[in-house]
Structure 1
Amino acid sequence: MTLNCIAVDDEPLALKLLGNFTAQTPFLNLVGSYSSATAALRGLQQQTVPIDLLFLDIQMPDLNGLELARALDRGPGGGGPRVVFTTAFNQYALDGYKVDALDYLLKPFTYDEFLRVAEKAKAYAELNQGATAAPTAPAPPPEDYLYLKVEYQLVRVPFNDILYVEGLKDYVKVYRRSQPKPLLSLTSMKTMEERLPSHLFMRIHRSYIVGLEHITSIGRGTVQISNETLPVSDSYRDVFEQFISRWK
């Protein structure tokens, strides 16, 4: 699924950043960038393709982002683009709720944070599409991969290729079955834990998430994956022991 989106921000650097981030995200198609809410409103009225997602600054001259969101007349469950506010101020959370905003990006935000919100918008769009489809229509197959930001590109990594993930200070290393060299990505273990499906992966340590199907043996407080022995820490031991009970 591809989401058509537009970006609105009166700061040129912020608008350029949104353009760069959308260009790096395979399922986003940026069809317009506007430096004011009034220009964006005119652009929305003239668009020949449906707009799914609106990245919208709040504090702008003339018409601000909240006023534009209200002008779209989008109630819960209604039509029109979903709104993601991009703002340097967090005091607008309640106002955003009132206009049914999908999420917030608090400036300055990273690509990792941007991608999380974009994936949330995609999941919402797929859910909404499924709700409006004919009852006999087959459900789309679940995604079996994720995209990782590696240096200046996105790398597609199938779930079944991930042996385990190792957390460093500000990065993670993703070890794969198909390649001897791990991928190094600027993201957190918490983000990886959220993005990896829980029926395929389990966190066993502050520094390790393992692919359950790749565990070859279990020792006393350890698991074996390929040629690596990884520790199971006390804080994750109870959940892991529940998993072990299925082996017996």
Structure 2
Amino acid sequence: MTINCIAVDDEPLALDLITKFIEQTSFLKLDAKFDNAIQALGYLNANEVDLVFLDIQMPDLSGMELARILDGKNQNKKPRIIFTTAYNQFAIEGYKVDALDYLLKPYSYEEFLKASTKAYQYYEKLESANTEEKQLEKSLDYIFLKVEYQLVKVILKEITHIEAYKDYVKVFLKDKPNPLLSLISMKNMEEMLPSDCFMRVHRSYIINLDHIDSVARNIINIGKYQISVSDNYKEDFLQFMSKWMK
């Protein structure tokens, strides 16, 4: 697992040191570095970052002010913060903005690594929890989709196929004349479905393997619908077909 991070410090020597420490730590990846918090905020608003090494005493916008702004973000989107400062009186304020750790200058690489390991352990637990949640979702025989202004329970075995439609997906159901239209990306839809039953065969199509009626070359027939298998997904589909034909 790699943690994407940025470094923010208005002191050139301090910024060089934190950059050096990040680059020699295998599980950290330095995406950018800034000598002021305003530029850092602009970057954070446009990019997803896991961890911010943040000085506190800076002109224009202090590190603590930046941390308060980030603390107001969506819990799942905001980066974690490790403060780097020469002033220990900010420790209590640091914990108020849910800082992960607090490095007091001058700090050694050993101290830096200890704080960074906290970040690694945090994201490792988060990744594990997300994996367990996805596995639980896939073990269910239904999903909930947002359709217009309500959540609709959809039985997985009734889904014949799914088609991308602009920012939506069309979910086709067995014995239903019209598909459900849900505001969700194909990628997220694919992640919700069990891979042993559903397969992406085209940028615009996911099929339920149990509902395949016939296959002719690169065309899958499901009821009255003909769905083409694109080159990017052909290999996986051919592997499935080779097992099907045994």
TM-score range for the pair, normalised by the shorter chain length: 0.5 to 0.7
C-alpha contact 1:55 1:85 (8 A) present in aligned 2: yes
Amino acid at match of 2:125: L
AA matched with 2:43: G
Distance 1:76 1:123, change over 3 A: farther
Return closer, same or farther for 1:115/1:74 CA change in 2, 3 Å cut-off: farther
- Is the partner of 1:56 in helix, strand or coil? strand
Deviation of 1:78 (Å): 4.7
Distance in 2, matches of 1:36 and 1:112, equals 26
CA displacement 1:203-225 (0-9 Å, x = unmatched): xxxxxxxxxxxxxxxxxxxxxxx
Structure 2 equivalent of residue 5 of structure 1 = 5
Deviation at 1:136, TM superposition (A): 6.8
Deviation at 1:132, TM superposition (A): 2.1
Aligned residue type for 2:99:
A
| 1:46-61 to 2 correspondences below 5 Å | 46-47=46-47, 50-61=48-59
110, 113, 116: which one pairs with 1:112? Answer: 110
Does structure 2 retain, via aligned residues, the 8 Å contact 1:85–1:103?
A: yes
Q: What SS does the corresponding residue of 2:88 show, helix, strand or coil?
A: coil
Tell me the equivalent position of 1:121: 119
Q: Choose which of 125, 131, 144 in structure 1 pairs with 2:129.
A: 131
- Measure how far apart 1:135 and its partner are: 4.2
Structure 2 contact 7–18 (Cα < 8 Å) conserved: yes
Q: Secondary structure of the residue that 1:134 maps to in structure 2?
A: helix
Q: CA deviation at 1:76?
A: 10
Tell me if the contact between 1:41 and 1:68 (Cα under 8 Å) persists in the aligned partners: yes
Supply the AA of the counterpart residue of 1:33: K
2-structure distance, mates of 1:73, 1:19: 24
Alpha-carbon distance in 2 for matches of 1:34, 1:135: 36
Question: Hey, what does 1:171 align to over in structure 2?
Answer: none
Matched, 1:80 2:75: no
| Cα distance in 1, alignment partners of residues 74 and 118 from structure 2 | 16
Instruction: Report the CA distance shift for 1:74/1:103 in structure 2 as closer, same or farther (over 3 A).
Output: farther
In structure 1, the gaps of 5 or more residues are 139-248
**Which residue pairs with 1:93 in the alignment?**
91
* CA displacement, residues 57-102 of structure 1 (integer Å, 9 cap, x when unaligned): 0000010001000111358965311000000011111111110000
Q: Which residue of 2 aligns with 1:16?
A: 16
Counting aligned pairs with the same residue, the percent is: 54
Number of aligned residue pairs: give it: 136
Higher helix share: 2
Larger Rg: 2
5 Å-filtered alignment, 1:56-67, equals: 56-67=54-65
Partner of 2:44: 44
Q: Which residue of 2 aligns with 1:232?
A: none
SS in 1 for 2:89: coil
| TM score, norm. by length of structure 2 | 0.52
Instruction: Report SS of the residue matched to 1:101.
Output: coil
> Contact (CA 8 Å) 2:101, 2:115: kept in 1 or not?
yes
Which residue of structure 2 aligns with residue 182 of structure 1?
none
List, as ranges, runs of 4+ consecutive aligned residues in structure 1 with deviation greater than 6 Å.
none
**Superposed CA offset, 1:153-198 (max 9, x none):** xxxxxxxxxxxxxxxxxxxxxxxxxxxxxxxxxxxxxxxxxxxxxx
CA distance in 2, matches of 1:136, 1:70: 31
Partner letter of residue 128 of structure 2? G
> Does the 8 Å contact 2:55/2:85 carry over to 1?
yes
